[in-house]
Amino acid sequence: MAHESTPHAQSPAPGRERPTLDPRVRVLLAFSYGLVVLHSGTLGLAVILGALCAVALAVTRTHPTDRSVFKACAAFVGLWVGIKTGVDMWSGIAPTQALMGGGILGMRLFALMLIGLCLALSASPRTMGTALAWMLRPILRGKAWIVALAMALMIHFLPLTWQVFTRVRHTMALRASNLPLRSRIMLFPQAAMRALSLKTWNQTVAIAARGLDRESAWQTRFPLNAAHWALGALLILVGCVLARL
């Protein structure tokens, strides 16, 4: 348990990270572009998706293991595109329209997943959590830290869950390769859920031990950087323009 990482232990304090874009601006950009992706046209969506792919590749350049997450997102989107296209064609929709509808759904879904991936990999969960708490404090007041803790845990568990799935898959390839396909299909989720339940329990105890279950742990002073906020406003304006294309 002592070796389990938490949003607090995994990252330094927000003020000690290397100088990058203000985390509050990053959270605001992620939320804004999530809305833009849902309401933009095909051309604007294609431009945004291309930009997000470039950002995601840049973020994962120094983390080879994160590239596998990028590929898994693409495979997940491809699966749902195939399902939607097949259902539409089964319902009598013309193949061209079905393919177009599936493609647009895939672009939106992939863009949203890339936004989450870039946000999760661009800074530590603790930093993102404190930024969200700062933004929500005027609205939620004393309960803002609860949302911040939930977001930090979500960001923390995204790569952790992928690591668990990867380890379970490798273990089954070594020790359960002789089992029938049906048995392996049933064994994989059982083993993964059991491993994740242990991780969840360890995280719960570690959070309480490090004092992250209280409001004071999610309060920090962010330095004001007008250039970062100006850049964020410019990017949001660009997103609004792309949403009209």
Q: What is the mean pLDDT of the chain?
A: 81
- pLDDT of 108 reads 93
Helices (H), 123-225: 125-140, 144-175, 181-209
pTM, to two decimals? 0.74
Instruction: Tell me if 115 sits within 8 A of 140, measured CB to CB.
Output: no
Half-sphere exposure at residue 45, Cβ-oriented, CA atoms within 13 angstroms:
18
Tens of pLDDT, residues 110-157:
999 888 888 877 777 888 888 888 888 888 888 888 888 888 888 777
Q: What is the rounded distance in angstroms from the CA atom of residue 159 to the CA atom of residue 164?
A: 9
Instruction: Tell me if 153 sits within 8 A of 183, measured CB to CB.
Output: no
Tens of pLDDT, residues 88-103:
899 888 889 989 999 9
- pLDDT of 18 reads 46
